[in-house]
Structure formats: C-alpha cells, structure tokens
Structure 1
Amino acid sequence: MYSSQTTQATTDAIEWALTHGMALKTTAYSATHTAFSFAPTPISKARYQQLVASVGLLGKLVHYVSEDHQFLNHAIDPITKGDPFFNALLEMHKAIHQVPLQSSERSTEHSTEKSVSLDAPSSSAKRLPLLIMRSDFMDDAALGPKLIEFNGIAAGMGPFGQRVHELHKFLQLQSADTFNQWSASTNNQLVENHALEKLANGIANTTIKIKQEFTQSDLSTGFENHPPVFLMIVQTNEDNVYDQHLLEHALQAKGIKTVRRTFRELHDKLTTGKNHRLLLKGVGPIDTVYLRAGYQYCDYHANDIISRVCCEALMQTRIFIEKHRVAVNATVSQQLATSKRVQMLLSMMDTSALTRFGLTLDEANTVKGLLGEMRPVTKDSAALISQSRPDEWVLKNQGEGGGHCIFDDDILPKLLSLKPDEYQAWSLMRRLQPTPRPTPALTVRKGELQQVDDLISEIGMFTVHIDGKPAIIDLNGGQQAYAGYLIRSKSARTTEGGVHSGMGVLDSLVFYVDV
C-alpha cells in the first residue's frame, strides 16, 4: 500500500497530465493519461553534455547518406528479397530520383521525365529535405552511450518528452516530500527540455523558407495572402494524436496553418502549381509535409482503389509529393538512410570511410564512438549465438516501432528458421547493459501505481536539419541542431520499452550531484 500523500500526489499528476495533453486516445470521445515515472532518472552532467554536443553529427551523417543515392541503392538492394516493404521503398526511391529501372519495372504514373544515369544530377526530386530525427541511446555500464537506432520517419513524442519534464517540475513544487522520496538524486536539478518549442522552431523556419521562395509566384496565382501551410500525414484511426496536436498548436502559435490527412485522403487531391508548387484541393499551396505515417504497409492500404500492385496507388502519392518544391520529412531517402541495414553498414565502417558522408575525420571519430557493434546475419550466426550468453545479442529486422526485436533464447530458433535469402534483412546488435536506477522508482499506468526496482532508461535525442544544416535558430540568431530529448524507462526484465506499444513509461532527466 502507498501512503495517502503518495496517492494524492499521483491523482494530481494524472490530472495535470490530462490537462496538458499528455494522453492517448481511447475512443472517439475519451482518453487515458500516458504512462509516466513519478520522478526523473539521473544522468551525469558530462554524459548529457557529451550527447548534446555530438548528436547533431548523427543528423549530418544521415543527411549525407540519404542524398548519396548510389550508396543507398547498393546498401538496400540485398535486403529486398527478404523484406517486401523495403523492396517497395527502394522502388519508390528509384522513381523519385530517376534511377534507371529494369525493363520489367513499371515507371511511375506521375513521372514523364526520362531516366538518367545514376551519377547524373537528379532532375526529379525537387523537395527540400527536412530531417527531424530522434537518435535513441542506452548508456551502457561499461561502454557509455551507444546508439540503439535512428528514427527518421514518425520520430515522435518530442512534445511528450517536454510535457513529462514539466510534470516533474510540477511535482517537485507541489509534492516535494513525495517527489524526493522517489527521486534517485538528491541534487534535484532537472535537465531542461524544450523539445516542443525547438521542434516547432525548426519546422517553422523550414515552412516559412518554402513560403518565401514562392513570394512572387503566389502573387500571380492569388495565394499571396495564404498563411504558410504544414501538412501532417497521419495514420487512420490514430490513437497517439495528442502528441501530434501539441506540435500543431505550437506551429499555429507561429502563424502556420496545420492540416492533417491520411495517404488515402490525399489520393487524387494533390496537383502541381506554378514552379512545381504542391497544391492540395480545398487548402491551396503546401509548404511542409511531415510524415507520421508511411513506415509500414498498412499505411498505404486502400481497398477501394483498384491497383495492379498492393498499396501502389498511395505510394505514388508519396512519390508525387517529393517531385515538388516542398519541405519533406521524412523523404523516402531519409527513411532508407535511417534503416537498421544502413545503421549496421555505418557501424562496420572505419572512420576514414565515414568521411564520405560530409564528416571531418574528427567528426567521424566522434560518430564512431557512438555507434554500437552490429553484425550481418550469415550462415555462421547460429554458431555465434550458440557460443554466447543468451543476453549478449539482440536480433533485429528492418521494422519500425515495437515488436521487431528478438531477445535471449528466442534468437537461435529464429536464426535457424531463416532462409538464406532472408539473412540480409536481419542483423545482430550487441546488447547494451545500462545500470538500473540506484533506488526504487514509482511508475503510473492507467491510474495504477507500480514500484519498479530495476528501472533502466532509453535516451532519445532530437535533431533538426534543413538540407544538412542545423535548422533551429536561437535567440542570438545562431543555428543549432539539438532539439530536446525523450526518455522512456522500463524494467530491465522487459524487452518492449515503447510507451505507446510496450511497457515503457515517459520519463525525464535529473543531474547527479556533482562530486
């Protein structure tokens, strides 16, 4: 049983969360609070500053990888036989960038341009790459922070990351005794998190940039008085809408109109305006397109559209968008560049090879220090696992979101079931072993309290780049890429740590006492 003081503080916290939009939709007219920790997880100031100083280099790296179309084609092609979805993504990439198709491949319905050689400049992809990326780390007890994965499409929950930080501030003030009882640090210096404001800053800067490019042509077409427009592509019947709406509200406060559509709702509604302007029926010009969908086949399903290939019609909509002068996150190229396959290839490169992607040798050394060990799956992988401890490796496929990692005693049977042409779609990552929180933690899920004695945390760091350059403008006019953090914590005994799809909880950071 918990004390009446703790119970009252929890009630206050739940009501604060619902009041501030930290919730998941349960029905058309109801919601539940997002699971959260009662007090933040500790981090050393040096570790935090190291991540903030270096995470922008990962965004820079991924941008240059995403624009190296020859590299992407060579990287992704081997997994297409074992992963039909990535086969479809690669075909979209070829259509967008006019990579020559084989004779048996069908050209896109929107493209009338002739194919060009792989090394020739692309004349078809006119979009401005807007890379909003979340790099997820775990702080290994022996190795320090190591990258778990890149998230370049649907890299969400930045607004929730800020909200739970604000919730912890609220509890620190309103319920100090209970907060201190469950805090793992006596310092109680919370680590500031302005993810919502910074993400909105970067997106707004990009959106206004595109709007300004069309100042003259908008005058001639009657769109000069239209506000800048941000289009969010969402999933049908999405339950994680409040995190999205928080970002929209922040953009609206900056004078940007926001529009939400599924791929199905965009079908046959997009047209081409003057100077490759992207137009949406009933709305007008679109300046930024932000994908919170498109990372799984079901996002492209439309049973009422007759198409020769499953999902082809709605994938053509995504291709059509990228052939216009509009800021896009995530481009198909960015989605490929942030795949597990590319992450593995980058982790296996030496530092000199990484300089191919816009990095200096010093920057490549910094990046190399963040990349965890990954290996391709081969016919010898089963023997490797047989000789290893059960908790030494994680088996991953190319899927996004929860449910795509295999752990412990389930790894070997899965490896033995794979066919040789499926090997390349999988990889082995050395499992990270973070140190659990030194004191018991209190978590809150669906109104219920639970004490967790071995809470570990995943650290997501947001960055925003426009065409490879930092996109966030600070008060002094300087530019930065870092855009706040997201902490998701879970029991060390739990493998699925997602807040939305697993057993994780929202969390924030507090500095250890300096010694």
Structure 2
Amino acid sequence: MSIPLLPSWPPSLPSEAVSYLSDQATDYALAHGIVYRPVALSPTTAPALDSAIHAPFSLLPSPFPRALFDRAQSIQPAYDLLYAQVSSDHTFLQRVIGQSVIHVDEFQKQLWDIYISVKDDLVQPLSLGLFRSDYLLHDAASEGEKGSRSGELELKQVEFNTISASFGALCTKVNGLHRHLASTTDYLGAHEQLKSLDNLPLNAAQEVLIEGLAKAHAAYNATAQAYVLFVVQEGERNAFDQRPLEHALQAQGIRVVRQTFAEIAQRMSLTGQDRKLLLAHPVLGEIEISVVYYRAGYGPSDYASAKDWETRKQLERSRAIKCPSIAVQLAGAKKVQQVLAEPDRLEPLLSTIGMENKVNEMRETFSDLYPLDTSPLGQKGYELAQTEPQNFVLKPQREGGGNNVYREDIPGFLAQLEAGEGEKGAVAKRQAYILMSLIKPPAGLGNYLVKAATKDARAGAVLAKDTVSELGVYGAVLFENGAEKVKVHHHRSGGYLLRTKGRESDEGGVAVGFSVIDSPLLI
C-alpha cells in the first residue's frame, strides 16, 4: 500500500493568528459542551457541580494517512465480531484467563469468579459490546533511529477496549470544532488541505454508541417504562462525555438514570423468576432497568469493598442487558490480545464468524507480543525484556491507562517481582503481564494544544513541537451465544477518536491530562 508523505506539522502561523483561532475554538468548545468539571480544590472534596472548563483539544487537526484511516474503519467490524465470539467461547477464556491470569492477578480473579458463578445461571442471553480499537502509526523507517514521515507507515493496534470505551461524544464535538474553523476561517490559509472539508471526515462515534444502547433497550422488550442505567464513578469529571448519550436516548423516549456502585447496592433488587432489576430511587421511585451501561468498573479502584463486587455479581445475574457482561470484559484482557497474535490462534475464530478474509489485514496491525510464562515464546519474551528493554512496554491486564512499564524500567520492575521468590513464584507473577514491542510513531509532527488554565499552566494554545496521535475506531454489537458462533442482533461500526500528546509522555489519558482530543486531517 502506498502511503503519501505526511507534511511537516503544524504549518507556520503568526502569533496573532494562533490567538485568534484559539479564541474562536475555545468559545466553540464552551458553547458546544466540550467541557469537563474542574479539578477538585482538594483531594477530599468532589469537583464543583456548578462550573466547567473546556476539555483539552488540538487547535488544528493532525495529519493522518487516508489509506490507513480507511483500513482501521474497514477491519473494525471483524474486530467487533471477533471479541464477541471470544467472550462466548468458554474453552478459550478458560485456557487464556482461567488457567493463567487469575492465578497472579487478583482483579481478574474477582471478575473470573463472578463469571464462573453465573455463566450457567443467566436469565439474559443478550450482551451489548460498545468497543473501541486503538492504533498508532508505526514508522518502519525509524528502526534505525532515523525517524521520518517517509511513507513507510503501518497501522499497529495498541489495545482493544471492551468496557467504558469513552470520548464518543467529545470526539464527535471536536470534529465539529475543526470543521467549524475550517469552514469559517479556512484556518487563515495556513495549509491548502485545511481548506477542504473532505479531508476532515465526519465523525459518527456518538451516533454508533447511542444506536447500540437504543437497540439493546428495544431488545429488552420491557412491558413498562424501563430505564437505561449508567454506572458511573463518584465525582466524575468527564460527565459531559456521558450526558450527550443520555440526552440523545431521552430524545428517543428512553429514560436514563446515573448511579454509583454504592447507590446501586442500597437500592437494587432482583424480582421474579426472570430477575427483573429494580432500583428504589429516592426521587424517581421504583424503576425497572433495561440496560446496565458501565462507565465504571474497569479497574480495581472502582471496587472499594466486597459489597461492590457483590453488587456487580447481582447486576450480572439480572435480566437487564449488560454493556459489557463479565465475559465481554474478560475478553478485553491484554492476555487475550497477546494470545490472538500467536500463530494459528486468530484464524479459526475468524472462520467461525465468517471473517476469514480479514486475517491478513488484522495480523498486519499486530505488534510483536509475548507472554512471560514458561512456554518457549514466554522464555523468549523474558529474554528480550532483559536484553532489549528499550524496544518494549510491559502491560498488565488493566484498562484506563497509567499501568504500563516502559523501556529501561522493565528489568528493574521484573527484578522486584522476583525479589524474595523462588523461580516458580517469579514466573507466576510475570504471567500477569504481557510484553509488547514499542510502536514508533513518525517524527516531524506537532500541534497547538489548547488546555484550560490550571495552577501549573496558563490557558490557551501551546505549541508542542513533537506529538504522537492515537486513533480509536468504535463499534457496537448486540449479540447472544449460539451453538457454535454468536448470533448477532445489531452491529454497526464507525466513528473515531483521535488523541494527541507530546512524545515525551508514554501515557495517553485525556481525563488525567496527558492527551488532548483531536481529529484527523486525511492526507
């Protein structure tokens, strides 16, 4: 595939032009709900509910190869169905998770214990997956530390998200921001390709997520007015990425209620043989729940006590459709990603779902992935982690960012795992991680990052001269287990998230301040 050269970025703009565009963009962001709640004044207080700041965004869209953008879109349906199939394959999950990860990862063990205890006693056969597959551009020409925009670019998958795939609303709005600036200012003539809206693809991410939730609600077939339950974190700053989904559902006549695990524990009950999920809401009264949509529950910190785990179990047992189910969440473990990259693992699964024609395209997105167990591949991975750590990242079975170990920190981290343990214990602890070759994004790309003022930084556009952009593609699939393969009731893929950060940051979280929300300028 021929990939055009990416232009040097950003184009030259005088300071007055940057300020003008930044002012226009900031007002657009505030007017269109591209906002966060501000950081709490102290660790012991919640964010203020009556004020907001704009979410971080890029002033200009970032160049991205059109052919690779299209490829990411074209293979998303296969990825959606693949992970739906994995979640329905108990034998696969038992081998990959039940016989490995849970022995060294307490969080995964808690999920697995719930999965095992309920899998043969489910009253709701349907599951909803709202997925996002994340990619980086890899510059094959940079292997010799040359670093270029040479056209030897490849699309490499970072991870596949099966729970709380966020920013579908905000990324749609930032796409609108960039299209607004292009159509009203031509970006002051900064670059020829910024003048054409055809290079700024419309973003259907929010629509894909909303349609998935609406289809699940309809499939629940409530006899009375039922609500979609958003399970949220206490003091959520990113509520305005969630509220647009809620408001769009409500515009269709589908009511939504937001609750934390603690609130659900106090108010929930399962009634009847079909275990209808009811909430005794203090204002709304007793309400029935059709869909449980998790925007919390993806990490250990969301489960403060055994009571929270029991709440998750009871939600899983209920008639409500889960997004995701425990099985779908387990399918998103990094260990699954690593196993799928092994020889001959992907092919039979894709054949089962009729997507065998996508094998080569999907494999081309895989980085080198290794277990850290006693298998020959695991032993090779451990050796590479010790001898060539600068080329790798160590990943645990976690969502949400901030959990990885990078480059030269890897040998010392592994040594800590092994300290005071015999070889058997050391190997066991290592199995909680996978080793992934580092993706090397092209050099020569920067952007103006626009952030709200904090105690550490001023407001406005700041030039980041060396940036990295990560592309995510969304998918929604409503399915149930079949005798051999999943039975699909609704499936739609599309929309995208582009996050951009300074190259010096290994982590990519927007909410925690590392990245800004961006959109692609297709080249």
Pairing of 1:78-477 with structure 2 (within 5 A): 78-97=100-119, 122-124=120-122, 126-142=124-140, 144-178=154-188, 180-181=189-190, 189-211=199-221, 214=222, 218=223, 223=224, 226=225, 228-274=226-272, 275-281=274-280, 282-301=285-304, 311-350=305-344, 351-355=346-350, 358-378=353-373, 381-388=381-388, 390=390, 392-419=391-418, 420=426, 421-436=428-443, 438=444, 440-446=446-452, 447-467=459-479
Change (3 A) 1:300 1:389: closer
Structure 2 gap segments, 5+ residues each: 1-12, 39-46, 141-152, 374-378, 419-425, 453-458, 480-485
Match of 2:85 among 45, 48, 64: 64
Change (3 A) 1:63 1:163: same
Secondary structure of residue in 2 paired with 1:458: strand
Give distance in 2, aligned partners of 1:37 and 1:253: 30
Secondary structure of residue in 1 paired with 2:52: strand
Letter of the structure 1 residue corresponding to residue 347 of structure 2: S
- 2:21 maps to 1:9: yes
Q: Which region of structure 1 is more displaced relative to structure 2, 6-15 or 336-345?
A: 6-15
Contact 1:45 1:511 in 2 (8 A): yes
Give distance in 2, aligned partners of 1:183 and 1:327: 48
TM-superposed deviation, 1:457: 0.8
- 2:68 maps to 1:47: yes
Give distance in 2, aligned partners of 1:443 and 1:470: 41
Change (3 A) 1:500 1:139: same
Contact 1:440 1:451 in 2 (8 A): yes
Secondary structure of residue in 2 paired with 1:258: strand
Contact 1:340 1:397 in 2 (8 A): yes
Change (3 A) 1:127 1:24: farther
Change (3 A) 1:197 1:508: same
Q: Which region of structure 1 is more displaced relative to structure 2, 266-275 or 239-248?
A: 266-275
Contact 2:21 2:59 in 1 (8 A): no
Secondary structure of residue in 2 paired with 1:86: helix
TM-superposed deviation, 1:404: 1.0
Contact 1:376 1:427 in 2 (8 A): yes
CA RMSD of superposed structures (Å)? 2.3
TM-superposed deviation, 1:81: 3.0
Change (3 A) 1:185 1:240: same
- 2:491 maps to 1:486: no
TM-superposed deviation, 1:481: 2.0
The superposition leaves residues 151-180 of structure 1 with CA deviations (integer Å, 9 ceiling, x where unpaired) of 1111111111101100101111233244x4
Contact 2:96 2:336 in 1 (8 A): yes
Change (3 A) 1:11 1:360: closer
Contact 1:234 1:261 in 2 (8 A): yes
Change (3 A) 1:87 1:252: same
TM-superposed deviation, 1:489: 0.8
The superposition leaves residues 98-152 of structure 1 with CA deviations (integer Å, 9 ceiling, x where unpaired) of xxxxxxxxxxxxxxxxxxxxxxxx3435252000011111121236212111111
Contact 1:40 1:183 in 2 (8 A): no
Secondary structure of residue in 2 paired with 1:90: helix
Letter of the structure 2 residue corresponding to residue 232 of structure 1: F
Percent pairwise identity: 30
Letter of the structure 1 residue corresponding to residue 65 of structure 2: S
Give distance in 1, aligned partners of 2:350 and 2:76: 16
Change (3 A) 1:3 1:367: closer
Contact 1:488 1:506 in 2 (8 A): yes
TM-score by length of structure 2 reads 0.82
Change (3 A) 1:71 1:381: closer
TM-superposed deviation, 1:271: 2.3
* Correspondence for 2:6: none
Q: Which region of structure 1 is more displaced relative to structure 2, 333-342 or 351-360?
A: 351-360
TM-superposed deviation, 1:349: 3.8
TM-score by length of structure 1 reads 0.83
Change (3 A) 1:14 1:72: same
Structure 1 gap segments, 5+ residues each: 98-121, 302-310, 473-479
Give distance in 1, aligned partners of 2:228 and 2:192: 40
Give distance in 2, aligned partners of 1:380 and 1:58: 28
Contact 2:182 2:194 in 1 (8 A): no
* Correspondence for 2:421: none
Secondary structure of residue in 1 paired with 2:103: coil
The superposition leaves residues 368-393 of structure 1 with CA deviations (integer Å, 9 ceiling, x where unpaired) of 23332210124664532343261x11
